[in-house]
Every structure is written in C-alpha cells, then in structure tokens.
Amino acid sequence: MAIEVPLDPAHTAVLSMDMQTAIVSIYTGGDDGLVMRAAEVLQRCRERGMTVIHVQVGFRPGLPEISSRNVLFSAIRSSPQRQQLFQGDGGRIHPAVAATGEDIVITKHRISAFTGTDLDMILRAKEIETLLMFGIATSGVVLSTLLDAVDADYRGVVVRDCCADQDAEVHAVLVEKFFPRRGSVVTAAELLEHLRS
C-alpha cells in the first residue's frame, strides 16, 4: 500500500504509544516480532531526522488522576495487581524501543495521547503536520489518538503490524476498515521501503 501523505522529516513525528514492558508482554505473548519491527521503524525515523515521541501510561502515588467514574481506569485503582503494570520495570518503556538521544517522553493518564498532556503543544511548537503512530492497544491508545489527531488537523499514518490488540477481530476491523477512512495504514516493511526511497 502506498503512503499517500507527505513524510517530510521536518514536519513528521513518530508516536510510539504504551509500549511499556508489562503491556507488551501481555499483548504479544512473548513474540518479539512486533517490538523488533517497532524498533526498526524508530531507528529509521531517527536517522531521517524525524521527531520521536514516546507516550506512556503513568500515575502519581495514590492515583489522584483516576476518577471513579472512569470505567476503564477505575479498574486499575481497585486492583493492586493492575497497578503493578505501571510500576517498576514493568511500567518502563520496553528496552528495545526505549527513548534515546533527543527522543521526547510524555506520560498520560487517559487513553488518548492528547488528553491532559502537552503533546499538542510540542507538536505545534515543532511545526509537525504528520503523525506516524503505533502502539498497544489498537482499540485503545491507537484508536483514541488517531481520532484526536485527525480532529486537530494532523495527518495520521498507522503502522498496523506495530500495533496489537487482545481481540484480533477488532484489530482487523480497525486497521482494514476504520483507520483507512481517517488516515493511511501501512505495514512496517512498507514504511521502511518508503523511507529508503
């Protein structure tokens, strides 16, 4: 599939989202393929001079960011086991895709990378127009962030095989039917080939 949006390095950012060690382990079942593809995408984009931004989920002690009215996140508040996903080594960005050099790290407290963060301010300050994005889960951070990005007039490109979801059918519907109506959807190999050319 051809990439139909401009990938001018000066105006393109890569969003690597929720690629934290515990989350990656749960969603990939120990298969390193997704992480290795994501690592190669990040490296190639750095080499091309694109802005690389890592988005991670995190909370302060006592979880003051979590409302009891938030169905998804209140489940974290009520479960010490789920809280451990975001603490210590498990809560850190997976070593294979960790921030290096001038990469930017943003901590979020909701599903979308935009909600309650300074992501939009950073993107606008850097005059970013196009977002390459991937992460876990397809039906969580990727979906929410893509919708917010498109509504804020960013061009979106989702790297489909650097995303994962616990529901394979939902993942397929999103990357095959829903996301292409909002932006471009490519494989890591297609993106890398485009960047080579």
User: What pLDDT, in 10s, does the model give residues 35-87?
Assistant: 999 999 999 999 999 999 999 998 778 776 778 898 877 777 766 777 677 77
- Separation in Å, CA 124 to CA 12, 36, 61, 149: 11, 30, 31, 12
- Separation in Å, CA 40 to CA 31, 67, 189, 192: 16, 37, 10, 8
- Percent of the chain whose predicted confidence (pLDDT) is above 90: 76
Position 13 scores a pLDDT of 98
- Bridge partners (DSSP) of residue 55 are 17, 106
- Separation in Å, CA 143 to CA 50, 53, 100: 22, 17, 26
pTM of the model: 0.92
pLDDT, average across residues 178-184:
96
- Percent of the chain whose predicted confidence (pLDDT) is above 70: 96
Residue 1 predicted with pLDDT over 70: no
pLDDT, average across residues 154-177:
97
Residue length, the chain? 197
Q: Which CATH superfamily is domain 9-196 in?
A: Isochorismatase-like (3.40.50.850)
Instruction: Give the separation between CA 135 and CA 24, rounded to whole angstroms.
Output: 9
pLDDT band at residue 181, thresholds of 50, 70 and 90?
Answer: very high
Position 79 scores a pLDDT of 66
Q: How do the domains of the chain map onto residue ranges?
A: 9-196
